[in-house]
Structure 1
């Protein structure tokens, strides 16, 4: 058992909103929080909310081999395994990977898992993939632009020449600009589970997650602005980026709870060499 899994309480020191470090997420996902993560997600409700959006998107692109770099407790990996995709499931948190493996077994699959830090992804994960998925607002665990550029470059390198990256994020723009709280219509559907920001500024979004048994946990994340992230993807090398708002291609900027970015590695109208 890891030290994180043994922890009974999260530790942010004397000033929690001063904790703005990429590596902190490993300590945040302590055993008790991981055990309740599926209660927060509610797999059935989340599957109903997402529908077949990601499945159909991947099949339309002809993807067969998928790298899930933010597996968490395995929700998307298991859904893709159920649909016949070849999936490698990676995460930086051992406790999450252990829970994901158990969830996969309960669904009749033996999950292929890898513990990996995105910044050195290709050191631990080998081969090329038709698609890389980074879902569940996970990319916002990266606090420095250097880390974000490095991670995106690692995702890019893991893709085949015509591969795609699918990455989502909360609509932090509306939180930063108007102070509005997310509606959680799509991602966090657990009954009687509250997930809301305690503090938001341009460098930190600190969320609290409250459960029916009275327990609560926090996550400190970086509030990525939509246009900043899209531009960063293009600067790293992705040729086109299409953004969906709550799984819709047409939306008002301030409406979605989540943005989903689909970044193409292949050049538009690229011709195969003869």
Structure 2
């Protein structure tokens, strides 16, 4: 029989975030597991607004995949399932992974409501290939998720795991908030392309070179927080090159050309291998 103290601890961990007495000092990759509590996950789709996100995003990701002949995709940051469902409905073979069991459960529920059965896997990116034993044409890591990694070793390890799970001419698509703009000029979001929910306020309440702490305020008065590492664009591009990706394009809010401080989000499209335009003799 579960004792009262243990039962209370479970209840709190399931429904209440805990950052301790000094929340801006919580800079630990493992902590994301405690941030995506059930009550937060249940509200997450209010922040995304699937219909508006579908409209503003258009077919950007689908076209990036199709033009390269991608058929099989690993969605490593499935969240509540938005991109996994979009790709399934566009004819791709999709495996949906996430580190949060609550997110995966919600994604499965969302997909089922739309007539799909997700193939879900709970996986830590740093040891992705221990859990997933398939090769893919593309890996997608979307929703600013990569910024949950707080030290360079974890970032390099995760990128290397993505690289290893790709076929020889595979593709990685990874996005992030425009932290250069946030760090250098302050936060000023158009709230248009990614987090489209009109009723949810999402804004940073603390920023320094090693942490951006976002607050999410919902219509019922509840609020939650995420602690994330503010990745600079050129730093992440360098890591992608050093891990082995040879050709990297960066888009700003789905546009190929943009001013540095304009986009809310940056999307990196990294190819594992160049396709040479010449033939070896």
Identify the TM-score tier after normalising by the shorter chain.
Answer: over 0.9
The counterpart of 2:225, out of the listed 192, 203, 218, is: 218
TM-score if structure 2 supplies the norm length? 0.94
Q: How does 1:80-119 map to 2 (within 5 A)?
A: 80-119=87-126
Give SS of 2:52's match: helix
In 2: Cα distance, 1:71 partner to 1:242 partner: 23
**Are the structure 2 counterparts of residues 273 and 133 from structure 1 closer, same or farther at C-alpha, using a change threshold of 3 Å?**
farther
> Could you list the per-position Cα deviations for residues 17-55 of structure 1 after superposition, in whole angstroms to 9, with x for gaps in the alignment?
000000100110001000000111000010011000001
In 2: Cα distance, 1:95 partner to 1:52 partner: 28
In 2: Cα distance, 1:224 partner to 1:259 partner: 11
Q: CA RMSD in A?
A: 1.7
Give SS of 2:15's match: coil
Report the CA distance between 1:249 and its aligned residue. 0.5
Give SS of 1:218's match: strand
**Are the structure 2 counterparts of residues 51 and 157 from structure 1 closer, same or farther at C-alpha, using a change threshold of 3 Å?**
same
Question: In the alignment, which residue of structure 2 is the partner of 1:65?
Answer: 72
Report the CA distance between 1:107 and its aligned residue. 1.0
The counterpart of 2:129, out of the listed 110, 122, 133, is: 122
Give SS of 1:77's match: helix
Number of residue pairs the alignment of both structures matches: 273
User: Which 4+ stretches in 1 moved above 2 angstroms?
Assistant: 2-8, 180-184, 270-274
Question: In the alignment, which residue of structure 1 is the partner of 2:210?
Answer: 203
Report the CA distance between 1:170 and its aligned residue. 0.2
2:185 is aligned with 1:168? no
TM-score if structure 1 supplies the norm length? 0.96
**Are the structure 2 counterparts of residues 270 and 88 from structure 1 closer, same or farther at C-alpha, using a change threshold of 3 Å?**
farther
1:239 and 1:268 in contact (8 A); partners too:
no
Max Rg structure: 2
In 2: Cα distance, 1:18 partner to 1:271 partner: 52
- For structure 2, the residue ranges without an aligned partner over 5 or more in a row are 1-8
**Are the structure 2 counterparts of residues 249 and 17 from structure 1 closer, same or farther at C-alpha, using a change threshold of 3 Å?**
same
Give SS of 2:199's match: coil
- For structure 1, the residue ranges without an aligned partner over 5 or more in a row are none
2:168 and 2:272 in contact (8 A); partners too:
yes
In 1: Cα distance, 2:10 partner to 2:232 partner: 33
**Are the structure 2 counterparts of residues 239 and 89 from structure 1 closer, same or farther at C-alpha, using a change threshold of 3 Å?**
same
In 2: Cα distance, 1:192 partner to 1:172 partner: 24
Q: How does 1:239-254 map to 2 (within 5 A)?
A: 239-254=246-261
Report the CA distance between 1:67 and its aligned residue. 0.2
2:46 and 2:199 in contact (8 A); partners too:
no
